[in-house]
Amino acid sequence: MDEVKAMARAGESMGRAVGTGIKSARFGAKRAGAVGVSLSKQAAARAEQELANRGISTDELQERLAQKATGMSRKELAKCGRKARKEMRKRTAKSRKQLAKNTELARRELAARIDPEPVKGRRKWPWVLLVLAGLGAAAVVALSRRPEEMPVATADHDFGRRDQPGRHAADRNADGQPQAIRPEHSR
């Protein structure tokens, strides 16, 4: 019984250790997220200060970045953007239709997994035929094993006579001795 108690205590202490580890990991992740937000705010403030020192506004910075990345100005990008938006509408319409089809297929598949249609069971009539055939075969075997008929005795045959007197109570006298055999008279 000591082993059981020891194992139970070991499980409890292990569970407690895992629980505290998870809790401290959550707190550490939350703290790291807060520190990351504050550092990113500080970095943005420093970047704006550096741009102001050089005499560049944020709009000018966006223009320069677009020029370096694509080789076109923001106005040119806006013109191309109209065509791109038109093409994008066509693509989104096609993708929307495809998404609707895929959603319908996924819904059907999920419904089939959750509540599958009942599978057809085996047909029972072949078994019934098999049982009837077996009963018929058993009947044929039983009828074929009838006892053979013995030929009927004819009047010509002489049936064996008794050499000894019968042992029936009617054939004995009062002393219990057998009586003499009387020939039967024909009627």
Residue 133, pLDDT score: 94
* Structure-block tokens of residue 184: 């039967």
How confident is the model over 108-128, as pLDDT tens digits?
888 888 877 766 767 777 888
Are residues 73 and 67 in contact, defined by beta-carbon separation less than 8 angstroms?
yes
Residue 166 predicted with pLDDT over 80? no
Looking at residue 169, its pLDDT comes to 58
Q: Which residue has the higher pLDDT, 32 or 17?
A: 32
**pLDDT beyond 90 at 25:** no
Q: How far apart are CA 143 and CA 137, in angstroms?
A: 10
With a cut of 80, say whether residue 50 has pLDDT above it. Answer: yes
**pLDDT surpassing 70 at residue 82:** yes
% of the chain at pLDDT higher than 70: 75
Task: Convert the pLDDT of each residue in 139-149 to its tens digit.
Answer: 988 888 876 66
**CA 187 to each of CA 154, 159, 180, 184: distance values in angstroms, whole numbers, following the listed order:** 20, 19, 21, 9
What pLDDT does residue 70 have?
74
In this structure, what token pair is assigned to residue 82? Answer: 């109209």
69: its two tokens: 């990345």
Q: What is the mean pLDDT of residues 8-32?
A: 82
Note the pTM of the prediction, 2 decimals: 0.29
Work out the average pLDDT over 59-84.
Answer: 76
